[in-house]
Structure formats: C-alpha cells, structure tokens
Structure 1
Amino acid sequence: MDSVNITLPDDAWKDSFDKLLDPRPQLRELNIIKRNVRRSFNFDSSVENSNSNLLSVSNVSHPNLLEPKTPGPSANMKLTANNVSSISTPCPKRLRSMLFDCALSPIGGLKLDGLIADLNPKMIEVKENAEAPIRKTKQVCFKPNVDKPQIAVADRKRTKTVLAEIRRSSLVLQPGKWQKNLITWRRTCHQQDMPPRSDPGQKQSLPKKSTPAVNLEATIRNSRKSVNVKTSLEAVMPLSHEKQVLKYCNQRRALRFGTAYAASKMIGSSKIGEGVYGEVFKYTPKNSTEIDVVLKVIPIEGEIQVNGETQKTFEQILPEIIISKEMCNLRDNQANATLGYVDIYNVCLVKGHYPDHLIHLWEDFDSAKESENEHPEIFSDSQLFIVLELKYAGTDLSTFTFLNAEQSYYALQQIASALAVGEEALQFEHRDLHWGNILIEKTDNRELAYKLNGKDLSVKTKGIKLTIIDYTLSRVTVDENCHYNDLSVDEELFEATGDYQYDIYRMMRDELKNDWSKYAPKTNVFWISYINSKLIDGVKYRNPNSKTHKLYLDKLKTLQDIMLTFSSAGDCIRHINNCS
C-alpha cells in the first residue's frame, strides 16, 4: 500500500490531534452533554471535577491566596498549567492553599471539626523565599462561625487581624488533659501577653516578681470548695489552711526546695510530664533504689500567673492533698479496700528557687518535646510549692498496647471495682477519669483482691495492673466534709467538643443539676462507659485477629449497650460478677 504524505500548515496538526482526543463536540451533537467539563489537574484523578463551578486549569486563580487584597510575596502569582506539576490530589504543600472547600474532606490540611491550619499564626512559620509554610502540630483548634475567611498566608500581620475578628462557636479539644488543651487555645486565640520564650539551650531572663491583671478565665477553674454536709452543726472557728497543709506534710514550716530535693538524693531523674498546675519528674531515691518515685511539683500562693492560670491557695490545694491521702489509705481499709488508687509516699511544702538540676531536666524535656509550660526561672526565692511524692505506676492508657481484648476486659473490671470501693468508703466520684488519668504497669500477680462492703472480691490481672490518678475535679466526703470542685462557673469546659470525653462533662452537669457538691455515683458510670468505648475502638491491640480477642471484644460491646442503665460503679461490678 502506497504511503500518502499530508502537508498541514504550522500548528494545524495540533488542532486536528486535539479533536481526535477530545470527544466533547461529538457528545454535544449527540445530546449527551450540554456544557463544558473542566479539565483535571491530573488526568488520572476526577477529584477536581467534583465542583462544577471551578474553571479549567488554564484560568484558575484562587482568590484566598493568589490574589490577596494586600500586597505580598504572592500578589502577582497566577496558577496555570505551566507552574503546577502533576499531582493526584491538590494539597497545601504543592499549591500552598486549598483549591476547593469541602468540610467533609481532610485533604488540603483541613481538620474535620476544626479550623484550617492556615488561619492560625501559631501553627505556621513563614520563611523567606519558602515555597510553603511549615506546619506545627497543635493540641487545640476551634470552629469559626464564618464560611470562607479571605486570608493571605504569607501576610502574617493581616492573618492575625482576621483571626482576632473570628468568634468561636465551640471549642474543639483533643482527648486527655483538657486543662492544657484549653490554656493552649487561650494562648493561641486570645493572644495573651505571655513572657517571651527563649531558645531551648538558653536560659530565660524573666522578672522575679510580677503582678499581672486578674484574669477571670484563669481564676474560675481554681474553684475547689469544702462544705460541711451536716448543716445543723454549730459553726466552728475555721482553722488556718496553711497549718492544715503543714499538718498533712508533718512539717512546722516550709523546707528549702534545693535542700529537700537536692541532686545528690535523686538518681536517674528526668521530667516525664507536665500539667497546667505543675511539672512531673521521675527519679530513684538514693536510699531506696528498688522503687521509682514521681514528683508532682505545684506552685501555690504566688502572685504571678503560671501557664496562664492563677496559682492555687492553701485552701484550694488542701482538698487535693486530703483526697490523695484518703484514696491511698483505702488499701488498708477493713470494709472497703483496693489498691487501685495511686500510692502517695509523702507530701512536702517547700520554698525557694527551682533547683538547678530540675531546671536542666525541664530544659531537656523542652528541647525534646517542646514544653508548653512556663520556664521554672519565673519563680522567685519566696515562691512556695507543694510537692507530691507518688509511686511510679506505669504508662497511661492512651499509649498502652494491650495483648488482646481479654486483657482489656479485666482491666475495665479493675477500674470499675476501684470506683465501687471509693463510692462505698468515701462517696467518691472521680469526675475526670479520661484515659490520661489511668496508668498501667505489668504485674506478676494473677489476681487483685478487693473488699466491697466487707465482701471479698477478686479480679484477674492478665498480667497488668491499673491505677487511678489525678483528683483535681474529684468529689469526696471525709469527716462529714464534702470536698469538691465547683465546675458551674467553668462554661468553657461544657462547650468543648472533639471526643466522647467532653460529652461526659455535660452528662455530669445534667445528672448533678449543676450542683457539684451533690453526691451522684452515676458520674462514675459515665466514665466507665467512656473507658469502655476507648477499649473497644481507641486503644491498640497486639493480636486483634485472634478468637480470644473477638470473643471478649463482643463482651465489651454487649456491656457498653447496657452501661448507662447502671446507677453506680458498684451496680456495674455486681452485674459483671453475676454474669461471670
């Protein structure tokens, strides 16, 4: 067959080739499609065509980023096919902003129930001549009540201005230590005047004393109260709270901080955690190398705010000391006994500067994990601290890996049994039993013994022992006095969302009718339900495909279906024992 040479004018072959590849004119003639279909940024992806209002790639320009109202590095930038490389799904690392808004999609860096990362100046660092902002992980975010804020990422000043105008509709907090999440949110959104942070390797030069303006939001959380449950008793002269604290510490006066906790007395010390109200260290005592001790250091009675919070007073810290002591003493109770609450070795009142070796440990932690707390050098020589010496009880529930659901099933029984004992002995409600307040360690004991109303009970360990910690929000009755934290003044806690944990706070408020002095053991059931939900689909398992795992996972799910019908932790544990 003879070949035929066809001569086309310049560029005419391109038009002919496009007509062969593009079937749209033929489809229109057949009445199949009536309008243009936008070309995809990548021909193997149909994501971009999900929005029919977008134009073709040749004339797309994003108003939020590519045409900012104020001059900036990207003011004259246009997005065309020439400066966009082929990608499957647009993402901020490649296109520097979202090309389409989809509240149900995580692509482009959008949190499902939070704020676009670009709106938060604390979450980005803009470098000169950088192609894209470097994102930092934050613990909190919040929902804006505006649909499409027009913000230029590169314009840091304008971003802050727009951010200040956005009003939140609800807080979206990560599960766990909500106090730290909330103070981070305050720092980010309210832009409080906080002392400047220094480089990790360099000490801060901060004023020894300062008297900041009173922060109402910071003071309302320090609402620990104690009331006499027998109102008919005659009023008695109130004792000095300072003297009561010293009595529990077995001291006559405050000890020097640097002397009581000198470096020579602490072997293998390190900082292992932090909270809004203090730092947490771990060490091995020089005179007893068989145990590990955890130090919880809490500043009190000072004028300066710490981590955005007003320091607790003697009156406010006393109930927490009392609850810690009383819950620990349940291990020796004759009628209601348990080892499920953290063992407290000592309580100490100290005064003075932070010891240098603890400051170095703080800075090491800051370098490795970026501490969110204030540098300890802010404290003056007259600063008072309460130091709780606790037994090291392992890692928290959120980071622990279970062998299988059988192990977690008996772990739930341990928690429920400990709460049941606390209810009967002291009318105890924990009221903040999220998975960061449950510690787990390995044990060689096959069973743990409990006493509930004089009756002996035992729970299998399956190799682990659980311990309940942190009584900041707890309620207890000791010597006819009810110690509790009045959460009725803390509205932010009840506005938080993001996890089943924050539903529990609202459920407690409804159960108590916002009277937090009231004893309602149903609140413990709420937290058992929360823990059970985490054991079902929140924690990690080593053998999730085994028959044993599936069998006990079904038991957890069956229990979860009826959990909220129980009236107390004791009611729950009696049901479990009757079904065993």
Structure 2
Amino acid sequence: EEEEEEEENEDKDPTQEEEGLSDGDATLEEEINDSEEDKEWAAGNNELNRSVVGDVSMLDVTLPLHDVVASITNEDLRRLLAACGQKDFGDMMEFTSDISTAEKVGEGGYAEVFRITKRWKKEAKKEATIFKILAIENDEYAGEFFPEVIISKELTRLQKDHITTSAFAKLHQVKVVRGLFPRLLSDAWVFFRENDDEAENEENPLALGDQQLFLILECEFGGHNLTKFPFSSVMEVVSVYCQTALALAVAESKCQFEHRDLHEQNVLVKRTDDEWIEFNYDLPKKNGGRVGNHKSIRVASHGVKTTIIDFTLSRLTREKKTVEHEPEIMNIDIGDEVCDQSRKDEQFQVYKKMKKLTKGKWEQYTPRTNVLWLRMIINWIIKNNLDSNSDVNKKRLGNSKDARNSRKNTFSKKVSRRQSKRKFTECTSAEEGRKEMSGETWIKKIKEGKSLIDALKSFARGIDKFVSALDLVSSDSFEKLRLLLLE
C-alpha cells in the first residue's frame, strides 16, 4: 500500500500541493460532478478533513456573521462559528475519523487534552499533534471560548511576522463540532482517570450524548510540562526560563499580551536539534509609544525548546483589518472563584495579586501580570527542578529504579485503534528515540551546577522591580543570565 501511495504521489499534479490540498482532497474533487450542491458539499468536506494547516495565512479564514446558517440564533455561538470559518457545525465523527492513536496528556476545568496521531499521514508518528477539546455545555457560554480562539490565532502569526517567536503553541486548525465523543478518546480518558495522579475531571465526555457541541483546537505538540520533562543539565533549565521570558516580551511588543495563567503546567519543553532560538521585538518608548529600536536576540538552546500553552485566561489587543483600524481587546473576566481561592500555593496567590493589580478591570493592559508569572515560574523551577529533595526529583529517582527493575517505561501510554483489544502500548518517556537520564545522574548534575543555580536565585530575588516582560529582558541582570548559557 505504501509503494502504491508513493507512485500516486509521484504522479500527483504539483499545483495540488501548492494549493494546500491533501491526496484525499484531490481525489474527492476529481470524483464529484459539476452540480452546485456537490461542489458546496465537497468544499465543506475538504475543509472538515484537512488535518493540519501548514500556512499561517489559513488562520485568517473568518466568515461574516450573515454567512452562518440562520437556524443558529445564539449570537455568541454564531460569532464563534464565524471565527472558526464555519457556516454550520462540523460532525465529530468525520472530524476525528483519521485519528490512529490517542493519549490523554492533561485536563482543565473545561478542557480535555489529547496527544494524537493520524492514520493517513506517513509521518504521523513523528509529528503528533494536540487536540484540546472543550465541551460547550450551553449555547450561552459560547462567548467565553471566543477570545481563546482569536488569541491562539494571533500568537500563531508571531511565527511569521517581523516581530517573531516560535514559543507559543502553533494552532493548526480550530472547529466547532457536534456529536458523540469518540470511543478512542474516551478509552484514553478512562486510562488517564485511573492511572494519573493529576486526574481531576470526573465526568467522561462520552456521557454528554450525541448532540453535544465541542470546540476543538488542534495545535503542535510542544513537549512535556515542567513537572514531567526530564532535564539533563542545569543549562537546559536556564535556557527554558530565558526562552519563556523572551516569548512574553515579544508578545507584549506586538499585541499587548498577558498570559495570566503561566504556571508550571503551561510551560512545555521538548528536545530540539536547533542550536539557537531566535526572538525579535521592538522596544517601546518610555511614554508607551513605539520606537524603531528593533531587537533580535538569540538564546543558546542547549538542546531544549520551550512552548507556552493555554490562553483561556489571556488578554491581547489585536489590530482589526477595517477602514477605521480600531484595535480590538480580547480577554475574559477572571471571576472570584479563581482569584479568591484559599489555597496557599504561589499559583493561587498570583491570581489574587492580579486581581489587586488590575482592580478587576481585566480588559486593560497590565503587563506586570507577566512579571508575576515569571517570578512564580523561576521560583517553581528552583524549588522543584533544581532541588534534589523536591517531590519532582524524588519521583524521578523512583521512576529510574522502577524502570531498571521492570524494564518498562511508565512515563506515558497511548491508545491504538489498530490493536484489536484496544490495549495500551508503551512509548518512550520524554522524546521518542532518546534515553532518559537516570534520577541519580540528574541529582549529581544539580550539585555540579551549583554556581549556575546560585545565579538563577540571585536573578529571582530582584525580579519584583520589573514592570513588564519587556522591561525584564532588557535588564542587565537578564543579559548576564542569558550570557551564562554561552559558557
């Protein structure tokens, strides 16, 4: 079958590839007749089954509200569909029909997050993507998802603008679909619920029925979060932090971005062959205006790349493409149920500080919120990743011993539809094809990197003086930290 497919690819019209059509799309267009109904159906079906949008410009597809079918009367839902470039709801079964494997990797209050591969892609196992699935439990809540869709699109565009960073999760496509939650994803949900200590969501989405609406964002796979990524040097840890700070600075410069929820679960790390990670941004004037002082900074990767995810609570200003060119603010009001929790973890203290800082005016631009999270992240890294007695490192030590005893990797599992009994198959711990450093060796690395850890602690102590991520990365102290990566 693969040989036949290769022959078909050789005979394929190169213009099809230029137009962004998959083999399945091209075949479909050849088979349909010339009737207007069939053409309209084919266009919709091609759009539904296109698995990965390679060109950022495809994210500009937004429909006028009047193009959404009249039978959908809720204005927030109509606006969400228009932002996704849809006239009507997609079908859940069709949208997920090409999924080959699925592994639940995380969750939130409204979201289920899966790492998936697709059956019809030759390179699928090498290029897994992420499905973030949010149940739209009531039409009235549809407006709450709209900002995240727009913000995800805008941050993806930063990968091709002159103000650039690739550190935000690239959005491939986003759709509103209706239908029964797929059995393959449900099986992965059950396994996560039964085997992961972090599992909290109690209701399997399968129970929501066949008329349930879901918003699905398909993004690049960014790696594993700070609680799970197996670092192999202190330099890697410092590089991840520098990349995170610079990414926020770029987004501030371009679109007045605030993440507002940048805890350790939302900073992902994966291996990379790139020696350098580049960031480009403009420095603002002291009065808040723009100035032509363009900065281009490279960070030594030390073999790791950072990806920032989850823009549910984020805030962003985007330039509308209208005659008036009036900016549009994208944000969600963060309620008291988030800000006024009694938990003493630093993450929840940051929510309280944000509420005080913004005075509850969540639409206004308050870049110091980014500094609050950068402070929390650096403290978390020092306390957990770089402390040999932390729970994270104790767990890593335990995993190393278990791996030696059983010769099995328990870091992650994935579900395979191709297996007759839906058994779970094993996969490597952090990155396919790479052997993880043992816990004992990592503890030695921490001790050897004491001087670098002390430099990180020194930087952390002075972080409160900064008013934005741009201010932070422009400081002499940050530059000294970045230059340590060159030693």
Q: TM-score, normalised by structure 1?
A: 0.54
Once the two structures are superposed, residues 477-515 of structure 1 have per-residue CA deviations (whole angstroms, 9 ceiling, x without a partner) of 11312122222x415532333322222122222222222
- Provide runs of 4+ in structure 1 moved above 6 Å: none
Give the structure 2 partner of residue 76 of structure 1: none
Q: State how far apart, in whole Å, the 1-side matches of 2:457 and 2:140 are.
A: 41
Give the structure 1 partner of residue 151 of structure 2: 323
Give the structure 2 partner of residue 287 of structure 1: 120
1:350 has 2:169 as partner: no
* Runs of 5+ unmatched residues, structure 1: 1-237, 303-310
| Deviation (angstroms), 1:351 | 0.5
Give the structure 1 partner of residue 460 of structure 2: 560
1:258 has 2:93 as partner: yes
Q: Percent identity?
A: 31
Q: State how far apart, in whole Å, the 1-side matches of 2:91 and 2:74 are.
A: 25
Give the structure 1 partner of residue 303 of structure 2: 463
Structure 1 counterpart of 2:329, one-letter code: C
Q: 1:291 to 1:251 in 2, by over 3 A?
A: same
Once the two structures are superposed, residues 508-559 of structure 1 have per-residue CA deviations (whole angstroms, 9 ceiling, x without a partner) of 2222222212211111111111111112121157155567511211111110
Contact 1:343 1:390 survives alignment (8 Å): yes
Larger Rg computed on CA atoms: 1
Q: State how far apart, in whole Å, the 1-side matches of 2:140 and 2:465 are.
A: 38
1:513 has 2:359 as partner: yes
Q: TM-score, normalised by structure 2?
A: 0.64
| Deviation (angstroms), 1:285 | 1.7
Structure 2 counterpart of 1:458, one-letter code: R
Contact 2:99 2:118 survives alignment (8 Å): yes
| Deviation (angstroms), 1:276 | 1.5
Once the two structures are superposed, residues 383-442 of structure 1 have per-residue CA deviations (whole angstroms, 9 ceiling, x without a partner) of 111111111111101222322332212211100000000101110011110001111101
Once the two structures are superposed, residues 439-493 of structure 1 have per-residue CA deviations (whole angstroms, 9 ceiling, x without a partner) of 1101111110110113211111111111110011111111312122222x41553
Structure 1 counterpart of 2:153, one-letter code: K
Give the structure 1 partner of residue 166 of structure 2: 339
Q: State how far apart, in whole Å, the 2-side matches of 1:241 and 1:491 are.
A: 23
Contact 1:406 1:553 survives alignment (8 Å): no
Contact 1:399 1:539 survives alignment (8 Å): no
Give the structure 2 partner of residue 363 of structure 1: 190
Structure 2 counterpart of 1:274, one-letter code: E
Once the two structures are superposed, residues 26-66 of structure 1 have per-residue CA deviations (whole angstroms, 9 ceiling, x without a partner) of xxxxxxxxxxxxxxxxxxxxxxxxxxxxxxxxxxxxxxxxx
Of the candidates 328, 352, 355, which is equivalent to residue 481 of structure 1?
328
RMSD: 2.2
Give the structure 1 partner of residue 107 of structure 2: 274
Contact 2:102 2:184 survives alignment (8 Å): no
Q: How do residues 147-546 of structure 1 correspond to structure 2 at under 5 angstroms?
A: 240-262=75-97, 265-288=98-121, 289=124, 290-302=126-138, 313-334=141-162, 336-369=163-196, 372-453=201-282, 454-479=294-319, 480-487=327-334, 489-491=335-337, 493-540=339-386, 542-544=442-444
Q: State how far apart, in whole Å, the 1-side matches of 2:140 and 2:103 are.
A: 25
Q: State how far apart, in whole Å, the 1-side matches of 2:341 and 2:181 are.
A: 36
Q: 1:492 to 1:342 in 2, by over 3 A?
A: closer
Once the two structures are superposed, residues 221-271 of structure 1 have per-residue CA deviations (whole angstroms, 9 ceiling, x without a partner) of xxxxxxxxxxxxxxxxx9943333223323221111112112xx1122222
Q: State the structure with bigger RCO (CA 8 A, min sep 6), 1 or 2.
A: 2
